[in-house]
Structure 1
Amino acid sequence: MARYIFVTGGVVSSLGKGLAGASLAALLQARGYSIRMKKLDPYLNVDPGTMGPDQHGEVFVTSDGAETDLDIGHYERFTGRPATSTDSISQGRIFSNIIAAERRGDFLGKTIQIVPHVTDAIKAFITSENSGFDFVMIEIGGTVGDIEAQPFYEAIRQLRQEMPYSDTLSIHLTLLPYIPTAGELKTKPTQHSVATLRSIGIQPNILLCRCDRAIPPEERRKLASFCSVAPSAVIEALDASNIYDVPMAYHREGLDAEVLRHFGITDAPAINLAPWLAVTDAIKNPRASITVGVVAKYPHKDAYKSLVEAIAHGGVANKAGVKIEWIDSQSLESGDLTALMGVDAIIVPGGFGQRGTEGKIAAIRYARESGKPFLGICLGMQLACIEAARHQIGLKAASSTEFGPTEAPIVAQMMEWMSDGQIEKRAENGDLGGTMRLGAFPAVLETGSLAHKIYGETTISERHRHRYEVNARYRRALEDVGLRFSGLSPDGLLPEIVERRESFFIAVQFHPELVSRPLSPHPLFAGLVEAALLGQSKAALAA
């Protein structure tokens, strides 16, 4: 039977509950235990699919096509376990399901209420499909006291009451701010946060205290006493130099030992942190370093969270340090490409809408003409095709129907495609939410192509999130100017990868960053960093 770990947050948001939970999961896995992670999001959106990346950050897509919170990406990167649509749910989704059931008459005339109907639905989500796992970790988004999160906290309170005490554990992540004028860490915000949690009926068993310096013994004693936890359960969560240091830091502080102690596990296997130590060693002791320019349109870096981590993984694969130079795509539209000249490789990532696309096209043209290593992702691939059509074929009107009517629709909206042997259809003016080509789809690679060399196989599966595709009717013309279609859907209809043979220039319709892991870097990012290092070496020899 699975044991349940609930992770809540207090004081302020963005303290890193997802990262904390994922790090603990990695520690338990390193001891040989199996663990499943689930996320409860209090917002009323059905999912984050229609939220702006500037507000919410990236939308992480699972293999089975669920649009989820970016914390699910942390879960996958730290555990290596692919998440599914049943690992994440929002309050909006729960309400939507309940209202749909009420409309069908499933409640037989009963009055629908938060308790028991909403809380029962939350409990059912938490406890479903958990057989075979040693631990199930549940994270609640936001902070304790948020009005929209109250049903989730009530559901957890009920579950902890209904289950044996030894089968559940509550971890509360809080902030210990340092006040320079007083010269001390302040425990009062954590005390108030715990008091709020206890007023709901939940007593935390472990405190994870985010701080920028060590917790003095007196403050640790005060926290334990006022928050009713054991002194050993006050865990210092110091700022780390990189996120992959966090599991080891928590292990040194005794977090995994405290969890096992609470559950009465005395015969836990010895921990094996060698793989994580290898990752952090590669980050801290690089043999070389490069700069990757990311031509971005969103200023919020969380909009590119998985991309940032995948670039770092590419560095780990090559034992190289990788610095990201953020280049505002709109800044390139004036024609000044100086920012691109100082980087060793260029990435044009995904995005939506026309803003900034001319700057992205300028960056792609610069990469093509200079031979600088280039990786285009999703919109980046579409714009690579538009760039070739405009500047090599001579189709000045080449564009995407996403940006409006065009005489040369190099990129056009998909109306239908194959998914699991079934035809998926979309209406041109239909709903935006959940209507894209979402999830993992296979692709067939051309033997001997750059893509084939990078992947080492001819059939791959990658995750997608888009509703526009490169128009295959322009394939011949684009290939005539050197842009090879080296990856296609199995039926040969949908372009998945384009490349150029004279340099490391490759662009993909899917999102490879979603499946990159620190312990298994994605080959596209490893290949990009390798190509950048090679280019750097050639430049040094030429000098």
Structure 2
Amino acid sequence: MKTTQNTKRTKFIFVTGGVLSSLGKGLASAALGALLESRGLTVTFQKLDPYINVDPGTMNPFQHGEVYVTDDGAETDLDMGHYERYTNAVMAQKNNYTSGRIYYSVITKERRGEYLGGTVQVIPHITDEIKAAVLQLDGSVDVAIIEIGGTVGDIEGLPFIEAIRQLRGDLGREYTLFIHLTLVPYIKTAGEVKTKPTQHSVRELRADGIQPDILICRTEVPLEDSLKAKIGLFCNVPKDAVITAIDCDTIYELPINLYREGLDTKILELLNIWTGQPNIKAWEKLVHTIKNPKNTVTIAITGKYVDLTESYKSLHEALVHGGLANGIKVELRYLSAEDIEVKNPGELLEGCDGILVPGGFGKRGAEGKIKAITHARENKIPFFGICLGMQLAVVEYSRNVAGLAGANSTEFEKEAKDPVIYLIKEWFDYRTQKIQTRDESSDMGGTLRLGAYPCILKEKTNAFKAYGQEEISERHRHRFEFNNEYREPLEQHGLTISGTSPNNELVEIVEIADHPWFLGCQFHPEFKSKPMKPHPLFRDFISAALARKLGK
């Protein structure tokens, strides 16, 4: 396997996980990227997921968490969001591969006869495809951090482990580094920290041909030097390569903790990279703001995935960022839209300073979300509707203000009397610069408007005030659109269309002028919010919620 011909060669860090899932490989990788950037290096990331789905776009959020969308329209793993929030890296289709996508490519090549009738096997064909996916990044940045999804020992992850084992031989030790994240549990009844799970996990990894260079140990308590020495002895790594990843009060404290453990210094030593000293003052200032808020607001999130908040990971973080921009803490109250359907919205939403209805698909809980929107509109509570939240705000306004009692989305009622939200059959795609067509028979993913699209803002609106510019670009992931046949009658009844596509064909943002702050957007602004650069819509939404709480 040859590397791409570039004057700059990229060094690769491979991150694996052991013992159990959900230890935080994505966050650890993102924090590591932040540390390397703080030393002046350029970084990128890649997530290799072992599941057979081609991408997470059609997966249930209860099982997988949110689907993160990139500028180029890729539906990716939620860890892409961590990567972009912690660093300046911009994720795209090439940054997330699944087993399904790898196998699909190999099978397509076999059907075309590219393997000349040979027997197609996991080794070398699947592993070569994985290696080619990784090596796309060679030459693009100083360091590429490659996260292997799942847990070492999972049968579906073996081709990825084998591929990165081969890459060590292809690229050499100075260009590859293996980091293994494990759990070092603290047994409270015994008052002891146990290293055996880490030992077994490393043994499993070594059986697959990989000796980790660095161990990151997730733990509740600090690891003493003697314990690090023990882990290093049994796992065949130096003591200074055993890194404590203690539980944090906030995830944005992780880069600071890993820096204090010397992780970045050890990595640079092993990869033979020279840089200046890191500058983590911005992270320290951020954590100080988080831990010392000036005030608190409560935001109600009315959705149908509230039992698994990972479904709204980027949304959760964007609201935290909105609080940071105002120097305050945001407390989130997740409310089931189905509960609101059958209970008094006023009682459930009592004490909330703002109400947010997020994106989603399907009819379940829609009427509960509409009730929450009515409560926000009538009681002058700051409201933020995202994607489906905007569409339902249009439905609510049509029914209760414009007098269109039969208003609905054709997603929920195909023969709606007043289809104010519908499936547009033909539209101009600004990303491809082509006319796109879609209908109900299209593939589930094929009917979606995905990725970054331009939007023109109307002056003297909340949207324009937030962004401070006329043209913006935001990421989309939705199937249904505002029906322009109802545009004029709704505007006559006081609905403000404050953002549209450049050709004025697609409605992107709606507002109510006679309200402290009521805004719905067709896109997903949470995907572009960062702790160091909060999204302007979340900043202003939280500001409005704070003003309500303070009685301003």
Matches of 1:34 and 1:434 in 2, distance apart?
34
Contact 1:310 1:525 (8 Å CA) reproduced: yes
Residue 331 of structure 1 corresponds to 339
Match of 1:440 among 438, 441, 452: 452
Contact 1:47 1:68 (8 Å CA) reproduced: yes
Matches of 2:171 and 2:401 in 1, distance apart?
67
2:352 maps to 1:343:
yes
- What secondary structure sits across from 1:462 in the alignment? strand
- What secondary structure sits across from 2:452 in the alignment? strand
2:330 maps to 1:317:
no
2:443 maps to 1:418:
no
Residue 312 of structure 2 corresponds to 304
Matches of 1:417 and 1:8 in 2, distance apart?
43
Residue 282 of structure 1 corresponds to 289
2:499 maps to 1:487:
yes
**What is the percentage of aligned positions where both structures have the same residue?**
51
Residue 508 of structure 2 corresponds to 496
2:219 maps to 1:211:
yes
- What secondary structure sits across from 2:481 in the alignment? strand
Match of 1:20 among 28, 34, 57: 28
Matches of 2:425 and 2:100 in 1, distance apart?
28
Please, which runs of 5 or more residues in structure 1 have no aligned partner?
Answer: none
Residue 160 of structure 1 corresponds to 168
Match of 1:2 among 4, 7, 10: 10
Q: CA deviation at 1:472?
A: 1.2
- Superposed counterparts of 1:25-174, under 5 Å: 25-174=33-182
Contact 1:348 1:360 (8 Å CA) reproduced: yes
Q: CA deviation at 1:49?
A: 0.3
The amino acid of 1:251's aligned partner reads Y
Matches of 1:260 and 1:217 in 2, distance apart?
22
More divergent stretch after superposition (177-186 vs 236-245): 177-186
Q: CA deviation at 1:106?
A: 1.5
- What secondary structure sits across from 2:551 in the alignment? helix
Matches of 2:413 and 2:551 in 1, distance apart?
43
- What secondary structure sits across from 1:443 in the alignment? strand
Q: Deviations over 1:163-214 (max 9, x none)?
A: 2212111000000111123221111111000000000000001000000001
Matches of 1:271 and 1:72 in 2, distance apart?
24
The amino acid of 1:453's aligned partner reads K
Matches of 1:17 and 1:416 in 2, distance apart?
42
Contact 2:387 2:522 (8 Å CA) reproduced: yes
- What secondary structure sits across from 1:39 in the alignment? strand
Matches of 1:130 and 1:390 in 2, distance apart?
55
Residue 268 of structure 1 corresponds to 275
Contact 2:438 2:446 (8 Å CA) reproduced: no
The amino acid of 2:63's aligned partner reads Q
Q: Deviations over 1:74-116 (max 9, x none)?
A: 0000013221111111110011111111111122211111111
Q: CA deviation at 1:408?
A: 1.3
- What secondary structure sits across from 1:8 in the alignment? strand
2:465 maps to 1:453:
yes
2:238 maps to 1:230:
yes
Contact 1:61 1:514 (8 Å CA) reproduced: yes
- What secondary structure sits across from 1:341 in the alignment? coil
- What secondary structure sits across from 2:275 in the alignment? coil
The amino acid of 1:92's aligned partner reads G
The amino acid of 2:250's aligned partner reads N
Residue 417 of structure 2 corresponds to 407
Contact 1:500 1:506 (8 Å CA) reproduced: yes
Matches of 1:435 and 1:131 in 2, distance apart?
35
Contact 1:67 1:434 (8 Å CA) reproduced: no
Q: Deviations over 1:388-442 (max 9, x none)?
A: 1111122222111111321111111132322232112223212113541000000
Matches of 1:518 and 1:254 in 2, distance apart?
23
The amino acid of 1:348's aligned partner reads V
Matches of 1:77 and 1:66 in 2, distance apart?
17
- What secondary structure sits across from 2:168 in the alignment? helix
Q: Deviations over 1:482-511 (max 9, x none)?
A: 211111111111110000112200000000
Q: CA deviation at 1:29?
A: 0.1
Alignment CA distance shift 1:417-1:6 (3 Å): same
Matches of 1:432 and 1:480 in 2, distance apart?
35
Matches of 2:365 and 2:191 in 1, distance apart?
46
Please, which runs of 5 or more residues in structure 2 have no aligned partner?
Answer: 1-8
Match of 1:367 among 351, 376, 379: 376
The amino acid of 2:470's aligned partner reads T
- Superposed counterparts of 1:233-252, under 5 Å: 233-252=241-260
- Superposed counterparts of 1:176-191, under 5 Å: 176-191=184-199
Matches of 1:385 and 1:341 in 2, distance apart?
24
Match of 2:533 among 501, 505, 520: 520
Matches of 1:300 and 1:88 in 2, distance apart?
23
Contact 1:444 1:458 (8 Å CA) reproduced: yes
Q: CA deviation at 1:277?
A: 1.7
Matches of 1:129 and 1:54 in 2, distance apart?
32
Matches of 1:275 and 1:217 in 2, distance apart?
29
The amino acid of 1:537's aligned partner reads L
Matches of 1:198 and 1:404 in 2, distance apart?
56
Contact 1:214 1:236 (8 Å CA) reproduced: yes
Residue 431 of structure 1 corresponds to 443
Match of 1:530 among 514, 534, 543: 543
The amino acid of 2:82's aligned partner reads H
Q: Deviations over 1:38-92 (max 9, x none)?
A: 1101000000000000110000000000000000000000013221111111110
The amino acid of 1:194's aligned partner reads V
Matches of 1:51 and 1:116 in 2, distance apart?
29
Contact 2:299 2:353 (8 Å CA) reproduced: yes
Contact 1:144 1:197 (8 Å CA) reproduced: yes
The TM-score with structure 2 as length reference comes to: 0.96
Matches of 1:173 and 1:425 in 2, distance apart?
46
- What secondary structure sits across from 2:355 in the alignment? strand
When the two structures are aligned, how many residues end up with a matched partner?
538
- What secondary structure sits across from 1:14 in the alignment? coil
Contact 1:415 1:428 (8 Å CA) reproduced: no
Q: CA deviation at 1:460?
A: 0.6
| Runs of 4+ with deviation above 3 angstroms | none
Matches of 1:416 and 1:2 in 2, distance apart?
43
Matches of 1:2 and 1:129 in 2, distance apart?
7
Matches of 2:171 and 2:189 in 1, distance apart?
46
